[in-house]
């Protein structure tokens, strides 16, 4: 069953062609990795999927769990179960982590027709998840991402993912900025969320992450299209030889 279906997506940003006919199909229970040179369009793809203003498709189609995303705003997509872990998480001064998370979780629950969590139930849940991610309670009290180290920001992204239980998660370079221990913690956190009912797309530059989060498929994105797809071995090939050979062959 396809949870995420991208068909021939084309998109311009500021009048420049960035996605040039990209197709990708992700089934439930799968983990896909997308690799590709800087500026190839990976983050653009994630923004397009998440429905960011200015990243509307010029042509092509996208479906989330069978539902077309074209008429859905970013917040509706999120509530429907699309999650994006940002390459550069944004600071929200003065906005407490707990209250932010709670609003997010309750928006999602409301959408799913579940009862909203009261303060106590929520705090309990958040603490449970946080301790698994080795995120200190103290961090949840701080303003979202403000003064967080690079690694803390990434951890907080995955913590949000765990709280929101999305159908499809896109992790944009979640491994960058993580030290060795944090990489393991974050990967464990992601792996723990792998089920047969959801799907995860990890965008990364490094094979290292894929030792921890083992993908079912690896895709190489170059200049706005997927030029090659394969299994985990494709990532090893990139690690060894770089993109040049792959791009030339395409």
Ligand X SMILES: Nc1ncnc2c1ncn2[C@@H]1O[C@H](COP(=O)(O)OP(=O)(O)OP(=O)(O)O)[C@@H](O)[C@H]1O
The binding site for another protein (CB under 8 A) comprises 50-53, 73-75, 78-79, 83-84, 86, 89-96, 99-100, 103-104, 107-108, 111, 143, 160, 164
Q: Which residue's entry shows tokens 């770089």?
A: 242
Collapsed DSSP state (helix, strand, coil) of residue 219: strand
Select 22 or 199, whichever has its Cβ closest to ligand X: 22
CB 71 within 8 Å of CB 94? no
Q: Least distance in Å: CB of 88 to Mg ion?
A: 9
CB 229 within 8 Å of CB 201? no
Question: Which element (helix H / strand E) includes 222?
Answer: strand 217-222
- In angstroms, the CA 48 to CA 137 distance is 33
Q: Which of 33, 40, 64, 158 binds ligand X (CB under 6 A)?
A: 40
Candidates 38-46, 89-97, 115-123, 234-242: pick the segment binding ligand X (CB under 6 A).
Answer: 38-46
Q: Which of 32, 42, 79, 102 binds ligand X (CB under 6 A)?
A: 42
Asked if 15 interacts with ligand X (CB under 6 A), we say: no
Asked if 78 interacts with ligand X (CB under 6 A), we say: no
Give the DSSP per-residue string, 118-145: PHHHHHHHHHHHHHHTT--HHHHHSBTT
Q: Which residue's entry shows tokens 């896109």?
A: 170
Select 157 or 175, whichever has its Cβ closest to another protein: 157
Collapsed DSSP state (helix, strand, coil) of residue 234: helix
What are the residues whose beta carbons fall under 8 Å from the beta carbon of 98, sequence distance 6 or more? Answer: 122, 123, 126, 140, 141
Select 28 or 107, whichever has its Cβ closest to another protein: 107
- Residues 82-121, interacting with ligand X (CB under 6 A): 87
Asked if 198 interacts with Mg ion (CB under 5 A), we say: no
Q: Least distance in Å: CB of 120 to another protein?
A: 17
Select 43 or 187, whichever has its Cβ closest to Mg ion: 43
- Residues 31-70, interacting with Mg ion (CB under 5 A): 42-43
Q: Least distance in Å: CB of 214 to another protein?
A: 26
99 binds, among Mg ion, another protein, ligand X, none (CB under 5 to 8 A by kind): another protein
Six-digit token string for 133: 């991610």
Q: How many residues bind Mg ion (CB under 5 A)?
A: 3
Select 79 or 228, whichever has its Cβ closest to another protein: 79
> Would you say the C-alpha torsion 22, 27, 28, 34 has a positive or negative sign?
negative
Asked if 43 interacts with ligand X (CB under 6 A), we say: yes
Six-digit token string for 227: 């030029």
Select 44 or 187, whichever has its Cβ closest to ligand X: 44
- Pairing state between β 31-35 and 82-85: unpaired
């Amino acid at each position: 069953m396809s949870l995420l279906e991208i068909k021939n997506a084309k998109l311009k940003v500021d009048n420049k062609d960035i996605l040039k006919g990209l197709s990708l199909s992700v089934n439930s229970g799968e983990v896909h990795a997308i690799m590709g040179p800087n500026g190839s369009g990976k983050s653009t793809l994630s923004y397009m999927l998440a429905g960011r203003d200015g990243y509307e498709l010029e042509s092509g189609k996208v479906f989330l769990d069978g539902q077309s995303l074209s008429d859905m705003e970013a917040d509706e997509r999120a509530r429907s179960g699309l999650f994006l872990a940002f390459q550069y998480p944004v600071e929200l001064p003065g906005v407490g982590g707990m209250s932010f998370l709670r609003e997010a979780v309750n928006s999602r629950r409301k959408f799913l027709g579940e009862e909203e969590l009261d303060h106590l139930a929520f705090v309990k849940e958040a603490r449970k998840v946080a301790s698994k991610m080795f995120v200190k309670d103290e961090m949840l009290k701080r303003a979202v991402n403000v003064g967080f180290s690079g690694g803390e920001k990434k951890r907080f992204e995955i913590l949000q993912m765990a709280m929101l239980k999305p159908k499809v998660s896109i992790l944009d370079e979640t491994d960058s900025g993580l030290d060795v221990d944090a990489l393991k913690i974050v990967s464990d956190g992601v792996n723990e969320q792998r089920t047969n009912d959801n799907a995860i797309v990890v965008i990364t530059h490094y094979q290292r992450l894929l030792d921890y989060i083992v993908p079912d498929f690896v895709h190489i994105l170059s200049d706005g299209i997927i030029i090659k797809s394969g299994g985990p071995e494709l990532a090893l090939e990139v690690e060894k030889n770089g993109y040049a050979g792959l791009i030339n062959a395409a």
